[in-house]
Chain A
Amino acid sequence: MRSIFLVVLVVIAAGSQPAFAGKKQVRYVGIHPVPKAEGGGVCYIEGPHVHVFAANKLEYRDHRNHNYFVGDPVAYGYDGPRHAYKGHHPIHVHAVVGDDQEDVEFCYLDGPHFHGFAPPPAIEADFEVAGDAYFYVAEPPPAYIEARPAMIKVNATYAPITYARPVVEVEPPSGWIGVRVGVPAVVVVDERPAPVVVAPRVRAGIEVHVPVPTFSIGIGVGGHVRGGHGHKKHKKWKRR
């Protein structure tokens, strides 16, 4: 009888305050995809919230200790409002999630893609609309260049996903980031022990300009970069 009473007490205690048996809470803010292992689809919670599954490093950025999704939600079945972009561009995370902690991150998706938001009024001038898509035409910060070699790997995530991407068939504006800095300079990447030469990726239909010298440094895919200012640790661009 006494043991039954103890069991009942334990059950009541467990029910009143959930215990953390092992799964770790992970903080998110804004909409984001749900991993297939967790059921797939999209989580539509716009404000801060938690799940017990992790976020990956290529599609998420840190915003006030919460994971903010910077990828294309339509690829995962998002059916909310959408805005077409082409190429890389900044995301004013604070404007999207509606808080006052300024946080500008970059989307490194090549080509046409969607987001659930349009550029906020504060940076509308940094974009030109052509073919119903936003093209980023402003000067990107050095940190964008620094992080790009690592972050452009996000495109490999989207390449195999079949979904209705925006169709943008117009000529890009002359100041578009994909024209001015879309093709990295040839850099020798030290993938020790054997050095590897990475050739520039030339996209059809895009006029290739000689990269501005300031953009030719620090561009490499992992490892150490020779011919520039040496190895630089990737760091996120945060204007706070």
Chain B
Amino acid sequence: MLARVLFSVVLVVAAVACGKGDGAAGGGGPRDAVTSAWKKGGMTLSPLTAATVTVGKDCQSGTVGAIDVLLCVYPTPAEAKAAEESGLGWVGEATGAAQAAGTVLIAVADRRKSDPSGRTINQLMKLAPK
């Protein structure tokens, strides 16, 4: 009986976690809207993992090809917009971009110089929902 209750608790916790919608597994949050749009556009995104950065508190990072991506979620679009400068700080000494899309800040950085024409970065920024 106890085992059954524990299992149920685990299920509920897992469901709530997924309900936040911003895990790599998907679930409908603003970050997922971005990753879904990327995947739909043919981009291959690595699993996102929590990122401890100064850009924001709720950030996850991964890669598209060899391009680093950082997706941070903010309470409001204005806060995401205001974080663009910090996003450029995260880009650092590389070709990159940082733009708010709703409540999500999208930052991309080509630190390995894998995208000399910028076409992949252009696709990433254009595919993101406005």
Residues of A within 8 A of B (CB): 16-21, 23, 25, 34, 39, 41-52
Contacts of B126 in A (CB 8 A): 46-47
13 contacts between A and B (CB under 8 A): A17-B90, A18-B109, A18-B111, A20-B93, A25-B88, A25-B92, A45-B95, A45-B121, A45-B122, A45-B125, A47-B97, A49-B96, A50-B97
Contacts of A51 in B (CB 8 A): 95
Nearest to B92 among chain A residues (CB) is A18
Interface of A is mostly: loop
> CA of A17 to CA of B94 in the docked complex: distance in angstroms?
13
> CA of A16 to CA of B94 in the docked complex: distance in angstroms?
15
Residues of B within 8 A of A (CB): 51-54, 88-97, 99, 109, 111, 113, 116-119, 121-122, 125-126
> CA of A44 to CA of B121 in the docked complex: distance in angstroms?
9
Q: By the criterion CB–CB under 8 Å, are B117 and A48 in contact? A: no
Nearest to A23 among chain B residues (CB) is B93
Smallest distance from the beta carbon of B56 to chain A beta carbons, Å?
A: 12
Q: By the criterion CB–CB under 8 Å, are B92 and A20 in contact? A: yes
Q: A52 and B118 in contact (CB under 8 A), knowing A16-B52, A47-B99? A: no
> CA of A46 to CA of B116 in the docked complex: distance in angstroms?
14
> CA of A165 to CA of B111 in the docked complex: distance in angstroms?
35
> CA of A19 to CA of B130 in the docked complex: distance in angstroms?
30
A-B pairs with the 8 shortest C-beta distances? A18-B92, A45-B118, A49-B97, A43-B118, A45-B122, A23-B93, A44-B118, A44-B119
Nearest to A18 among chain B residues (CB) is B92
Q: A49 and B92 in contact (CB under 8 A), knowing A16-B52, A16-B53, A17-B54? A: no
Nearest to B121 among chain A residues (CB) is A45
> CA of A34 to CA of B118 in the docked complex: distance in angstroms?
10
Contacts of A42 in B (CB 8 A): 117
Q: By the criterion CB–CB under 8 Å, are B97 and A45 in contact? A: yes
Q: By the criterion CB–CB under 8 Å, are A39 and B119 in contact? A: no
> CA of A47 to CA of B99 in the docked complex: distance in angstroms?
9
Q: By the criterion CB–CB under 8 Å, are B116 and A17 in contact? A: no
Contacts of A39 in B (CB 8 A): 113, 116
